[in-house]
Amino acid sequence: MVRPERRTRSDLVAVVLILVVVLAAAAVIWWRSDARATTSEPAAAPAPVLTSPTRVPAALHELWRAPSPATPVPVVAGSTAITGDGGTVSGRDPGTGAVRWRFSRDLPLCTVGEGWDRAVAVYRKSANCSEVSSLQGDTGVRGPARNADAPFGTRLLDDGKYLTATGERVLESWRSDLVRTQQYGIMPALKNAGNNLRRPNCTYPSVAVGSERIAVVEDCPDDPAQRITVLKTKPEDDEEPEEVSSAVLGGSEATAVAVSTKQTAVYVRDRGSLVMYANSTGGIEAEYPLPTAGAPFPDAGVEAVAADRVWTVNLRPVPGPEQAGAARSISAALHRFDPAITEQRVLDGLATAGPDRPFRVAVLDDHQYRQVKDKIGDVPGATFGGLLYWNNGATTVALDAATFAPLWEVPGALGPGALHGGKLLVPMPAGIAVLDRFTGARERLIPVDRQGWDGPVRLDSAGTTVLEQRGPNLVALG
């Protein structure tokens, strides 16, 4: 038998010293790590589901307000209103403002947005906005995170499937696990010379997203005017941007308004026109004059006129044997948004529908539409119609979601508006206008005391609460 080795006093001392060094190194790493500088206080239980309003109240009064300079628009994730101030993201009860959960870091926030029912917080380091964390809206539980190349001044734009971080020299898109799907522009540390760009020396003063496309206004030194370029949000090769089309504009003060798979709407301010470009050719399809008096031009790198979308679900006549199945599928998908949508109601509506007179089943905001479009998109007879509400600083314009053609205008509006209680609410200098969501006919004006604030106002609705982003503050009305 082999005699076991004997441990000496020197061996034990050496082991102790090694353990001390390892623990000391671990302590130093932890002291310098992001984990030590992060505080996460999730909610004890998920937030209750919000009740959709059935009407617009007769009056609106301030319920609460909170500083939120990191949210350029009201951010609602799940059933929670989100605020961002300093290095802290807070999930709040929309009706009371009470903090349900909190997440903070020892870094300042660049911006906070929403995607996939999560709050997405982008934090600033010395060189750029590189630290990205996602938080479940109803609980504040941490989800996927990533390091990014987003520049200072970035904004997060949601097309329903991808988030795009804007920037004057670079923009990038992420899928729901925060894996990057594309990057366009010049980064601080290049992987490829010129980053596989056709025009590497351009800046990007305006960006719009939609239908897995990105519309980018480019300022390029070799072009006589600005140009509009359309990219795929998820190219075939994630190392190389995939350009759909690019065309030089007839002006040098342009804003990307909206983009689909087929076309792009661009507001060319120095021409006073909303111009439609075909994505297949880059050619002009239509042009519509719009008022510009008093319209401020947006800061570089910021999409100043993001459109709010509203969708209708319509049913055209279907053969008798298919009616019961269609009514069952439609009511099952939409009943949670409106309890009045039942299988029998849909069947009754189908009985009155004609080829040129579809039955309008429901009106959905963009978030609701994204949740159900795949569930009812293949139902026989089901079609979607839509409107975009867009503001150029002088007027709010309703655009047809399919063609982007202007339908009606609200002069003097402070922002694009939002759905609430079956109506369109549009911020005006004296309060909030209540409009028919399809025709723009004004029904009444609800006075709102904004305590001297006369700048742009972005609206959203969280249950029965109306949210207004007024510069660095989020204000709740009810």
- Tens of pLDDT, residue by residue over 248-260, are 998 888 999 999 9
Contact present, 365 and 401 (Cβ < 8 Å): no
Amino acid identity, residue 348?
A: D
Average pLDDT over residues 370-387: 84
Segment 140-167 mean pLDDT: 93
Q: Is residue 292's pLDDT more than 90?
A: no
Query: Given this model, what pLDDT does residue 108 score?
Result: 97
pLDDT digits over 37-72, tens only? Answer: 799 999 999 999 898 888 999 999 999 999 999 999
- pLDDT score, position 298: 41
CA distance 253 to 281: 22
Q: Where does the pLDDT of residue 30 fall: very low under 50, low under 70, confident under 90, or very high at 90 and above?
A: very low
Least confident range of 21-30, 104-113, 350-359: 21-30
Chain centre distance of CA 86: 21
Average pLDDT over residues 149-170: 92
Alpha-carbon 51 to chain mean position: 22
Indicate if the pLDDT at residue 388 is higher than 90: no
Mean pLDDT of 75-88: 96
Which tops the pLDDT comparison, 53 or 102?
A: 102
Q: Which residues are within 8 A (CB) of 18 and not within 5 positions of it... i.e. 6 or more apart?
A: none
Q: At 295, is the pLDDT very low, low, confident or very high (cuts 50, 70, 90)?
A: very low
Is 167:150 a contact under the CB 8 Å cutoff? Answer: yes
Torsion angle, CA of 196/169/217/211, rounded to 10 degrees? 70
How many helices (DSSP H) and strands (DSSP E) are in the chain?
A: 4, 34
- Provide mean pLDDT across the span 304-313: 63
Q: Is 276:267 a contact under the CB 8 Å cutoff?
A: no
Per-residue tokens: 229: 């370029």
Asked whether 254 and 266 are in contact (CB, 8 A), the reply is yes
Question: Dihedral sign, CA of 352, 353, 354, 359?
Answer: positive
The predicted structure's pLDDT at residue 360: 86
Among 32-41, 222-231, 303-312, 397-406, top mean pLDDT goes to 222-231
From CA 232, how far away is CA 215, in angstroms rounded? 9
Report CA 454 to chain centroid distance, whole Å: 24
In whole angstroms, how far apart are CA 130 and each of 83, 122, 125, 167, 458?
A: 20, 7, 6, 12, 26
For the four alpha carbons of 57, 60, 64 and 68, in that order, the dihedral sign comes to positive
Mean pLDDT over the full length of the chain? 86
The predicted structure's pLDDT at residue 317: 87
pLDDT in tens, 315-371: 888 888 889 999 999 999 998 888 889 999 999 998 888 877 888 898 887 778 878
Which DSSP string corresponds to 226-289? -EEEEEESS-SSTTS--EEEEEE-S-SSEEEEEE-SSEEEEEEGGGTEEEEEETTT--EEEEEE
The confidence score (pLDDT) of residue 24 equals 57
pTM as predicted: 0.82
State residue 62's pLDDT score.
97
* Greater model confidence, 374 or 138: 138
Residue 301 has pLDDT above 50, yes or no: no
Q: What's residue 8's pLDDT? A: 67
The average pLDDT across 210-214 equals 91
Per-residue pLDDT at 457 exceeds 80: yes
pLDDT value for 92: 98
pLDDT value, residue 194: 55
Q: What is the pLDDT of residue 28?
A: 46
* pLDDT-based confidence at residue 197 (cuts at 50, 70, 90): confident
What is the predicted pLDDT for the residue at 371? Answer: 83
- Give the pLDDT mean for 425-438: 93
